[in-house]
């Protein structure tokens, strides 16, 4: 019987939970805002992990928050190593997750197209 989840997925989920807590307690919310760890992808040998995040509010922009997280990555990795029992704690690579913004833009474009279509069909009826 095949395993339901790969080990990398389980480790990624655990890293996501632990990092969410670490980021919440390690940074000033007024400065970086509310950071959410959206997803974690761990490579097969556990040497690297891509951490996808979003944030809301705060004094810093996307580049500022990304820079802060990247600078804190070694410390966060060390903290992860203390919380998780792993021989190899992956190197953390923080990436801003643009999927929510993209989804919002696509929804807006669809809504505009539908409204335009309704407007065009109303014009045809009046002619």
Domain containing 60 — which CATH number? 3.30.300.20
Q: State the pLDDT at residue 122.
A: 63
Q: State the pLDDT at residue 115.
A: 84
- Same structural domain for residues 71 and 115? no
Q: Does residue 2 have a pLDDT over 60?
A: no
39-88 pLDDT per residue, tens: 999 999 999 999 999 998 888 888 999 999 999 999 999 999 999 988 88
Give the number of C-alpha atoms closer than 13 A to the C-alpha of residue 124, restricted to the C-beta side: 6
Element (H or E) spanning 28, and its range?
none
Closest alpha carbon to 8 in 90, 91, 95: 90
- Same structural domain for residues 20 and 49? yes
Asked, for residue 1, whether it belongs to a domain, the answer is no
Question: Residue with structure tokens 């480790």?
Answer: 11
6-16 pLDDT per residue, tens: 888 999 999 99
**Hey, is 51 helix, strand or coil?**
strand
Number of domains in the chain: 2
Range of the domain at 27: 7-96
The pTM assigned to this predicted structure is 0.77
- Same structural domain for residues 68 and 90? yes
Averaged pLDDT for residues 105-119:
83
- Same structural domain for residues 112 and 60? no
- Same structural domain for residues 26 and 70? yes
């Amino acid at each position: 019987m095949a395993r339901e989840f790969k080990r990398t997925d389980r480790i990624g989920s655990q890293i996501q939970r632990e990092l969410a807590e670490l980021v919440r307690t390690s940074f000033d919310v007024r400065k970086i805002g509310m950071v959410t760890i959206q997803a974690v992808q761990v490579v097969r040998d556990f040497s690297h992990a891509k951490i996808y995040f979003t944030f809301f509010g705060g004094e810093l922009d996307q580049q500022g928050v990304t820079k802060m997280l990247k600078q804190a990555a070694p410390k966060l990795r060390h903290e992860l190593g203390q919380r998780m029992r792993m021989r190899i704690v992956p190197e953390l690579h923080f990436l801003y997750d643009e999927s929510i913004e993209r989804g919002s833009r696509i929804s807006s474009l669809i809504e505009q197209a539908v409204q335009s279509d309704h407007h065009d069909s109303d014009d045809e009826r009046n002619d």
